[in-house]
Structure 1
Amino acid sequence: MKRALLGLLLAGCVVARPATPSLPDGFPSDFPVPPNARLITASGPLPFVPAEMRTMTAQWSSALSRAELEAFYRAPHPGWRPIGPGSAPPSLGPIALPSAVFLTHVSDGLAATIAIGIPNPIDSGTLVAVTIVPRRPSSSP
Structure 2
Amino acid sequence: MTDALHLVCPHCHTTNRVARAHLGSAPDCGSCHQPLFTAHSTALDEASFDKHISRNHIPVLVDFWAPWCGPCRQMAPGFEQAAKQLEPHIRVAKVDTEANPSLAARFHIRSIPTLALFVGGREVARQAGALGAADIVRWTQAHAPR
Give the TM-score normalised by structure 2: 0.25
Give the TM-score normalised by structure 1: 0.25
Higher relative contact order (Cα pairs below 8 Å, separated by 6+ residues): 2
